[in-house]
Each structure stands twice: as C-alpha cells, then as structure tokens.
Structure 1
Amino acid sequence: MTARHTPEDLAAANGRTLADVIAPDLDVLFCGINPGLLSALTGHHFARPGNRFWPALHRSGFTPRQLAPAEQEQLIGLGLGITNVVARATAGAAELRPEEYRTGGEVLRAKVAEFRPRWLAVVGIGAYRVAFDAPKAVMGRQEQTVGATGLWVLPNPSGLNAHYTPDSLAEAFAELRVAVRGPDPTAA
C-alpha cells in the first residue's frame, strides 16, 4: 500500500538527511547525488516512484528480484550499499551548490576509506565531475581510484533523465555488475 504524502509533508523534509545503507567491505557502494524529498520523508533511498534505480539494479543482475525502496537493507546481504554525494535533501539536484558537491566528495572519500567497498558507483556524471574534480570524466570505469576502491560512473536513474531508457540504464548497470562479479552464468 502506498502512503499519500501532502505537499506540506514533503516541504518539511527539505534539508533532512538520510541514513546510509552501508557496511564494511561491500562489493559496490552506490552513490546518489542527494536525497529527494520523498526519500528524506520515508527514510528510503531512490523512493520516488518514477526513479529507475531499483528496476535497473534488478534488470542488470545485481539483485535476484526488484526490491522496493523499503527493502533497501536487504542490499547489505547482497554486498551492496547506498550513500549520497550531498547529504541534504532537496526537491531537485539543481538546488545544490558546487561547494556542496566538493565537500560531499571529501566526505565520500572518508567514507570509502573507512568502509572499503571494492567499487564506488556514482549515479550522475555531473555530480561525479564536480565532487571528484574530474571535469572531463565520462560514463563507466574511471582511471582514478580512492585507495583500493575503483570508481565507476553510472547514468542518473531519475525519471527526469529521459536520455537513458530503462533498457540502456540496465545495460549501464550490467557493465558494472560484470566488472564486479563476472559474466552472468544464466545469460543465454
């Protein structure tokens, strides 16, 4: 059952933060740009119904079925986690300032040093470019690392990112899954 939230509920979530889904030694720590208002309100990452993170995660082979945002804690058992470049919730990433991305990048590097995921996958090329001072970065595997942690850039799964279809998003996520876990033995 889907809860209905009022515009006032969502407005009250502006500026809140969202707890990471994180543990030591994950295979992949996915990193969103920042929490949306619905995510901050519900406490679940990628909570907006039009967000394609959860379908892309499943369709790429990272999860055995499509998880709902409320099931995010199950990711830990699959070697996956979620954090954000910028902690504070906004109605849209356009509300963030470049210095927030840069500060968020420093916080993210410290998190990676502490939790040591094999890969950090930032979902959003613009956020990655500013947070990691890599203005010419392209999608996919990056040459830069954070210690022993590899860096990967994925497309932003927001429904607003119409440049990527559900199929092309799943393909981009699958390239990372292959790098992490090897080819899918069940694929034809």
Structure 2
Amino acid sequence: MTPEELEAARDRLVPDVVAGGLRVLFCGINPGLLSAATGHHFARPGNRFWPVLHLSGFTPRRLAPGEQQELLLYGLGITNVAARATARADELSREELIEGGRILEAKVEALRPRWLAVAGVTAYRTAFGERHARIGPQDRTIGSTRIWALPNPSGLNAHWTLQTMAEEFARLRAAADADAPETDL
C-alpha cells in the first residue's frame, strides 16, 4: 500500500468479528491504518497477534488477517476499545478510550462472551478506570464475562517477546478451557 492509500484509511472503521456466547472476545486498542485499509484486524505484518494466537494453542494453525472470520469456528472474536483507525494508538485521546470502554461494556453485555481479553493493559486501565491493573486475569467482570488483560501484540512492544506473549495467551486459553461447558470441549 502506498502512504496515500494508508492515509486515506484514517478514521475508517473495521467491522467486528463477533457472535453471541464466544469463548474469548479479543479486544485491540484500535485499528491501525493497514487494518482499516484492508478491513482485517491486526493486519500489519509486524503485529504478533496472529502468530501468538497459534503458538498459544487458540488456533490449530497460524491464520492470516484475511482469515479472521475463521476465528468464530473456534469460539473467538475480535473487537476494539476505540473504533477509529489511526497510525498509532497514542493518537487516541483519553476521552476516546473512556467512551470506547463504555461502548465495549455494552457490547460485552449484549454478546456475553465467557472472557474479554484486552490486548493492551494501558488501554484497559484508561478505558475502565483501573489504574493499577496488571497483565493477567482481572477482578472486574462485565455481567458474567471475566476479563483478562494481555500484552499489546504490536511489534513496538519489545518488552514482550513472541514466546513470553504466547505464554500469557496460553494462560488465558487454559483458563477459558477450564471454565468451558462440557459441550465445548
């Protein structure tokens, strides 16, 4: 894509990949410009979401962003805290993240996934007013939906390696599998 094509995608929306009763609803901070241009979540090649999803055991193979609808076959979905596409997440205002948290909460109440997994603990803290949240399961719930804060899979988050990120995603997968109704196993 050319820089002009990417810039033209600014502020576009990327449709959610959702259904009622998911095992895990993954939630990014907001779509990047390449995601908005392609209509596929976590589309930037350096983003580690798709490799980590596979390495952690959520999917039997590494899916490409263009295969995102296949997530529904595994009881998984994707949404974002903020819907507006930007070049970098730090272009979002605090108010946008807080409003996104309100919208996300309503979405979760309607869809009732067993787990909401927010990929980006800083965004989670802002969106939900949980200043001291850490990576891992949270005390807060939305109805019966439990929440897990995950590391941001962006390639810019160098603190987390592919392996350590996959280990954290695998902890969530184990928790989701442990509380699954027997018909899901």
Do the two structures share a fold, i.e. TM-score over 0.5? yes
Answer yes or no: is 1:82 the counterpart of 2:82.
no
The letter for the 1-side match of 2:166 is A
Deviations 1:48-88 (A, max 9, x none): 00000000000000000000000000000100000000000
Distance 1:139 1:158 in 2: 15
Aligned to 1:36: 32
Aligned to 2:157: 161
The letter for the 2-side match of 1:59 is L
- 1:12-161 aligned within 5 A: 12-161=8-157
The letter for the 1-side match of 2:19 is A
The letter for the 2-side match of 1:25 is G
- TM-superposed deviation, 1:117: 0.2
Structure 2 unaligned regions, length at least 5: 179-185
Deviations 1:73-130 (A, max 9, x none): 0000100000000000000001000000000000000000110000000000110001
Deviations 1:106-156 (A, max 9, x none): 000000011000000000011000101000000000000000000000000
Structure 1 unaligned regions, length at least 5: 183-188
State the TM-score, normalizing by the size of structure 2: 0.96
Quote the RMSD (CA, aligned, Å).
0.4
| SS at 1:112 equivalent | helix
Distance 1:11 1:138 in 2: 34
> Aligned pairs, how many?
178
Moved over 4 A (4+): none
Distance 2:41 2:138 in 1: 24
State the TM-score, normalizing by the size of structure 1: 0.94
Identity %: 63
The letter for the 2-side match of 1:133 is G
The letter for the 2-side match of 1:102 is I
- TM-superposed deviation, 1:160: 0.4
Distance 1:142 1:126 in 2: 14
